[in-house]
Structure formats: C-alpha cells, structure tokens
Amino acid sequence: MHKLTELQFDNTYARLPAAFHAQAAPTPFRREPYLVSFNAAAAELLDLDPDEAGRAEFVEYFSGNKILPGVESLAMLYAGHQFGHYVPQLGDGRAILLGEVRNKAGAKWDVQLKGAGPTPFSRGFDGRAVLRSTIREYLCSEALHNLGIQTTRALCIVGSDEPVRRETIETAAVLTRLSPSHVRFGTFEVFHYRGQPERVRELADYVIANHYPELEGDQDRYERFLREVVLRTARLIARWQAVGFAHGVMNTDNMSILGLTIDYGPFGFMDDYRANFVCNHSDHGGRYAFNQQPAIGLWNLSCLAETLLSLIEREPAVAALDAYQPAFAESYGELMRSKLGWRERRQEDAELILSLLELLEANGVDYTNFFRRLGDLKSETHGDDGGNGDSDNDASLRDMFIDPAACDVWTARYRERLRAEASVDDERRQRMNLTNPKFVLRNYLAQDAITKATAARQRDFTEIERLLELLRRPFDEQPSMERYAAAPPEWGRRIAVSCSS
C-alpha cells in the first residue's frame, strides 16, 4: 500500500506530441477545501493506503491546491459531434489529467481532477464543477461498476465553499476520476477533421499499444481495432438497456474508445418503464431517449469509422460497423433472457420480451422492481385461483399493474415458457437475484443525498456514504435498507435534470 506521495506515475499521454494536449495546472481554491467522500474501493486500484484519506494533505492534493510528485498535468484535446453537429474543438475544459498511475498488478489508471479550474480548452467557461453534479457522477459510476457495467471510476470528492455560478450560485467540488484511458471518439475526430491523418495514426497506435496490445504488430490491426470498439460499444449499450440506464448526452466526445461509460451528466435510471424516456431536460428532440441509445451508439461509431478511413479501406470499415447490430442483439437477448431466468434460447423469446416491455409501459410498472419480484413467481399455479395467477406468490407482482388481468395473460405465457425448459423455481430465483438488482441509483435517491449535502453550512454527507455502501451490493437483500428499493415518492418522479453541472 502506497502513501500518497509514493504513487508511481507513468505519463504516456504526456509523451505524445504536443498537438494532443495542452499544459494545464489546477487552480487552487480560494476557500478551504474539505473532504466530501472517499471511496476505498477505487483507492485499491491505485494501491493507495485508504488511511491516507484521513491526512490533512489529502484534500490539498485532490482539490488541486497541491501537486503530487511525478505529476505532469495536462488537458486532453478532442472534438466531437454534439447533438448531431460537429464541434471542431472541445477538449478538457474542466478536467485536468494528473498522469497515469501504474499499480503493482501492472494496470495503469489515468488520474483526472474534474472541476479543478480552467484549461486552455475552457472556451470561456469557469473550469469548475458544482458539488451536486460531482455527487451524481461519483455515485453513479460506482453504482454501474457494481452492476457489472464498464465505467470510469471515482476516487473521491473534495468540496470548497468557493461560489460557482450556474442557474443559481452553488458551491464547487472536484471529482477525482480514474479510467484506464480518457480517449474518446472525439479525440480521433479532432485530427481527422483538421486534415491530419498522421495524428490519427499516432493516436490509433497509442491506443492499440496501451489498451489493445493483442492487436499490436498485426497487419490488420486498425480494422480489428475498429471492430473491437464496435463490439465493446454494442455490449456496453446492451447492458445499459437491460438495466434501464439512460446516459443522457451520447455525444461522440462522451464515447469512450474503451467502451466504458464516461461523462455522467443528466443520466437517469428508469423508474417506471418508458421506452422513450428522456432524462436530459435540455434534450427537447429526444435524440438521446432511452430507446434511441442503441441506434445512436452505431451513429457515433460511424463517426469514429470515418476518422479511420486513412488507415483502413471503406469496405472493412463498413463490415466492422455491420457487426454492431448483431452484437447488440446477441448481447441484449442474452441479458434479457438471464433477467427473465431463462436458460434456453427459444423462438418466441423476442416476442415475449417485447410484449412484456409494452405491458410494463402501458401499466406504469417500475422496471427494476418488476424483475426483482418476477424471480419469486412460481412456475406452477397453486390453489383455487382457477389459473388466473391469483395465488399469493404473484399477488405482489399483479399489484404493480393498473390492469392485473393483463399481467395474468403475460405471466401465463411466461410460466409456460418456464415449464417448457423444466425451470426449478428456487434455483431460478437465486439466479435471477444475481442479475436483477434490488437497488439502483434512482434519481430521487441521488437528489436526497444532494439536498442534504448542499444545505447551507450543514455539510451533511452521510447520505452519500449510505448510498455508496448500499450500491456496493446492489443484488443483495439488505433488510435495513428496504426503503431504498422503493419506487419514487411523488416529488421524486420525473425530476428534470439539466445539462448544467
């Protein structure tokens, strides 16, 4: 375990040509920084001794007030398609890469301070992040990780009472984000659209050498690289769809070259199922609606493919993109079958899944809770309910529907499907409980933690700790935490989350 000042930096990105980045140093806070939350699970990735979080210097280093030895801080350059339109230059406007820490297992983690002040790419904005948005990213990235979904990680939040102007005056915070890489589709785009194919090649070589080493030296490495990004992205988005997660701002600058969830803004977990759920208040056209995510994933990948056309022929590039749809369908089907507790793959599955989703939507049923309760359903009906599914074991499921009779029609077909594969109830329930979370980061839960944390002068961060702990084990029954599995109360339904952060 390392002390803070013993972290081993190995800054490969800083050694790329100057065109890839700009020097940027954190701006110290004028108001004293304080620790909001520390995540020991992420510290482990750096071999960082968790006791270090208790030292006064910890907040100095992770606010950006002090610089760790070995740091070569920089802002990464990128561009991106935002809501379908190309923006020629973005770059880290408020994130500063301190460098890459290599852990004793040989894994390399970018350590980035998000909200540490302006950089040469800030475009006139303040380079800061508000406490509210850092809490959302911090909790959600850890929640997705614990759900088995690829994502950046979060080490800590450090706050400061320095005022930050958004719709109102809020206070500032710095989120320390960890990722194997922060390279985005937009990092390729910026050089492609500037007409610098040699830079595109350097970047591709860098990403392959550092993150796709199995492709190095292969004659077809660029093709295979594109195909690999296509597959990873398809599988990532399949996981989002299966768990009911909407990213909210799937611009190409928010798409990771490693197929990780990155840049948490106005994301949302669905409560009641709605196919065209839009979590981003500013997304009026619904471009990034829940049910658009798979198609947008492909659209974004075609932007990436475009940038690689100096390295690969059009035909293999198109072939790589053509792998997206089948990979998504395969992965999503697999995940949904496992959510439904099916072991076998059958002809009628797709139709049964689709009709379920339509039914959930028509009845305003909570997505997470439905699947969790479905695990308790018995494959045989008992008692004198005349086959209407009115026995005790499915009363709690039926109660979730406005039209319980419609639920019965579907569960009758579902039971038939279970019996067809000789499903064993107890065993199936156990399996389903490992794939259908009991707890997700519902908007109202995050909002509650934010309200407590941002109440004037209270500095009450206990709810953040509670949620972090809860969401570490999303599949476990945690009896004392039962209320955190509840669908939102009236105030917590349809919370509008804006892009401002």
Helix/strand/coil for 228:
helix
Residue 236 to residue 44: CA distance in whole angstroms: 24
Of the listed 92, 110, 253, 448, which one is catalytic? 253
Name the minimum Å distance from CB 455 to ligand AMP. Answer: 23
In the list 93, 120, 197, 316, the residue contacting ligand AMP (rule: CB under 6 A) is: 93
Name the minimum Å distance from CB 93 to ligand AMP. Answer: 2
Instruction: List, as one string, the DSSP characters of 413-472.
Output: HHHHHHHHTT--HHHHHHHHHTTS-S----HHHHHHHHHHHHSTTT---HHHHHHHHHTT
179 touches Mg ion (CB under 5 A): no
For 129, phi then psi, to 5°, come to -125, 145
Report the residue number, 137 or 272, with the smaller CB distance to ligand AMP: 137
Report the residue number, 267 or 332, with the smaller CB distance to ligand AMP: 267
Selection from 265, 239, 240 nearest residue 253 by Cα: 265
Name the minimum Å distance from CB 478 to ligand AMP. Answer: 32
Report the residue number, 96 or 243, with the smaller CB distance to ligand AMP: 96
Q: Tell me the residue nearest to ligand AMP as measured from the CB.
A: 93
Residue 12 to residue 93: CA distance in whole angstroms: 21
β-strand partners of 85:
82
Name the minimum Å distance from CB 240 to ligand AMP. Answer: 17
443 touches Mg ion (CB under 5 A): no
In the list 254, 300, 379, 381, the residue contacting Mg ion (rule: CB under 5 A) is: 254
**From the list Mg ion, ligand AMP, none, which binds 265 (C-beta under 5 to 8 Å, kind-based)?**
ligand AMP
Is-contact 171 34, C-beta < 8 A? no
331 touches ligand AMP (CB under 6 A): no
- The site that binds ligand AMP (CB under 6 A) totals a number of residues, namely 14
Is-contact 228 304, C-beta < 8 A? no
Q: How does DSSP classify residue 257? A: T
Name the minimum Å distance from CB 501 to ligand AMP. Answer: 6
In the list 125, 275, 318, 427, the residue contacting ligand AMP (rule: CB under 6 A) is: 125
Amino acid at 133: S
Name the minimum Å distance from CB 307 to Mg ion. Answer: 18
* Residue 117 backbone zone (phi > 0: left; psi -120 to 50: alpha; other: beta): left
Q: How does DSSP classify residue 28? A: P
Amino acid at 48: L
Residue 349 to residue 365: CA distance in whole angstroms: 21
Selection from 288, 358, 298 nearest residue 328 by Cα: 298
**From the list ligand AMP, Mg ion, none, which binds 122 (C-beta under 5 to 8 Å, kind-based)?**
ligand AMP
For 68, the token pair is: 């760790």
Report the residue number, 115 or 375, with the smaller CB distance to ligand AMP: 115
Residue 341 to residue 378: CA distance in whole angstroms: 12
Applying the rule CB under 6 A, the residues between 241 and 300 that interact with ligand AMP are 249, 254, 263, 265
Whether 47 sits among the annotated catalytic residues: the reply is: no
For 275, the token pair is: 């196919």
For 406, phi then psi, to 5°, come to -65, -35
Name the minimum Å distance from CB 260 to Mg ion. Answer: 13
**From the list Mg ion, ligand AMP, none, which binds 271 (C-beta under 5 to 8 Å, kind-based)?**
none
Binding string, residues 195-234; x marks residues near ligand AMP by CB under 6 A: ----------------------------------------
Applying the rule CB under 6 A, the residues between 128 and 167 that interact with ligand AMP are 128
Is-contact 236 150, C-beta < 8 A? yes
Is-contact 99 71, C-beta < 8 A? yes
For 86, phi then psi, to 5°, come to -75, 130
Applying the rule CB under 6 A, the residues between 62 and 91 that interact with ligand AMP are 90-91
In the list 26, 33, 99, 127, the residue contacting ligand AMP (rule: CB under 6 A) is: 127
Residue 454 to residue 327: CA distance in whole angstroms: 43
Stretch that binds ligand AMP, among 50-58, 124-132, 218-226, 423-431 (CB under 6 A): 124-132
263 touches Mg ion (CB under 5 A): yes
21 touches ligand AMP (CB under 6 A): no
Q: How does DSSP classify residue 478? A: -
Name the minimum Å distance from CB 117 to Mg ion. Answer: 17
Is-contact 77 189, C-beta < 8 A? no
How far CA 285 is from CA of 216, 292, 307, 489, in Å, comes to: 42, 11, 27, 27
**From the list ligand AMP, Mg ion, none, which binds 86 (C-beta under 5 to 8 Å, kind-based)?**
none
Stretch that binds ligand AMP, among 58-66, 123-131, 144-152, 309-317 (CB under 6 A): 123-131
Report the residue number, 121 or 371, with the smaller CB distance to Mg ion: 121
Report the residue number, 122 or 478, with the smaller CB distance to ligand AMP: 122
- Catalytic positions: 253
Residues at the interface with Mg ion (CB under 5 A):
254, 263
> Under the rule (CB under 6 A), what is the footprint of ligand AMP?
90-94, 122, 125-128, 249, 254, 263, 265
